[in-house]
Amino acid sequence: MPDHLFETKVIELKKTQYDKPTIFGGFVGPGLVGLVTTGYMIEKLNLHEVAHVMSQHIPPVVVFVGAKLRHPFRIYSDDAGKIMAMICEMPIDIEGLYEISMILLDWAEQVQASEFVILDGVPVSGIPAERSALGVADESRIKELENKGVGPIQSAMISGIGGSILNQCLSRKVSGVSLLTPVSIDLPDPAASLVLIKAINQIYGLAIGTAELEENIERLNARLNQLAEQYKKLGDQSSDKEKQFYG
């Protein structure tokens, strides 16, 4: 089989004009908050697929999204070529992280991307006690984020393809930023995506609607409260039985 079939490459669906785009990236990670947030952005901003990534390091599967079969690693853009999003629903082989991120940054430089923004979560047990967006960036950029209400995280390790992309940004002319928020690893956590979307709106001047996320949070909270009441009743019944047994 020809060697070129195994090359990692960005395959453009059509030639598109870009205007120094900001590229958001969401990948498999804690609580899937990066994937959920990026998918929400793609839907609400009406981004359209402009390219996909082919690599032997990406599992040879297809995903069914929007009534279409699609590649697992896709790249989207708005009509103006200013906002882009990369999303991959499958974990990528660790051996291929460097190769894929290098090809992505080569391509990003070709389209004159201004910044990569990796969306991810900081895993916590249960429901996070605090809800805030945290930033990872170089010193000058982190001050700009702070002025927008996003404080720096004291320490963080961003792994996977998101971390590899940021690693490549260090030696390129593309700014690399990560927006993080605490995310539950035990329960569905739409509140984590809401925090990131609000931060994105604040920093980049977007107007992504949040009503759907807020409704999901209300439904989830109502369900959790219902479960809490059920557990409380079960606990009370058990306590009553113990009192009857022990007199």
pLDDT in tens, 181-224: 999 888 778 889 999 999 999 999 999 999 988 888 888 667 76
Regarding whether 238 and 194 lie in a shared domain, the answer is: no
Tokens of 244: 């009857």
What's the rounded Cα separation, in Å, for the pair 238 and 10?
Answer: 60
Give the residue-averaged pLDDT of 152-181. 91
The pLDDT tens digits for 45-74 are 999 999 999 999 998 888 887 778 889 999
Regarding whether 121 and 224 lie in a shared domain, the answer is: no
Regarding whether 197 and 142 lie in a shared domain, the answer is: yes
Regarding whether 166 and 97 lie in a shared domain, the answer is: yes
If you average pLDDT over every residue of the chain, what do you get? 87
Regarding whether 88 and 46 lie in a shared domain, the answer is: yes
Q: Are 189 and 145 in contact (CB under 8 A)?
A: no
Strand order in the sheet with 83-88: 9-12, 48-54, 73-77, 83-88, 22-27, 115-124, 175-184, 134-136, 151-152
Map residue 135 onto helix, strand or coil. Answer: strand
Regarding whether 161 and 239 lie in a shared domain, the answer is: no
The total number of structural domains in the chain stands at: 2
Lowest mean pLDDT among 88-92, 117-121, 124-128: 124-128
Regarding whether 153 and 53 lie in a shared domain, the answer is: yes
Confidence bin at 234 (pLDDT 50/70/90): low
> pTM for the complete prediction?
0.86
What's the rounded Cα separation, in Å, for the pair 105 and 116?
Answer: 9
In the predicted model, is pLDDT for residue 38 greater than 90? yes
Residue 219's domain comprises 210-247
Give the residue-averaged pLDDT of 30-55. 94
Regarding whether 226 and 120 lie in a shared domain, the answer is: no
Integer-rounded Cα Rg, in Å, for the chain is 21
CB atoms under 10 Å from CB of 107, counted, come to 17
Q: Look up the CATH number of the domain holding residue 138.
A: 3.40.50.10900
What's the rounded Cα separation, in Å, for the pair 144 and 231?
Answer: 46
Map residue 71 onto helix, strand or coil. Answer: coil
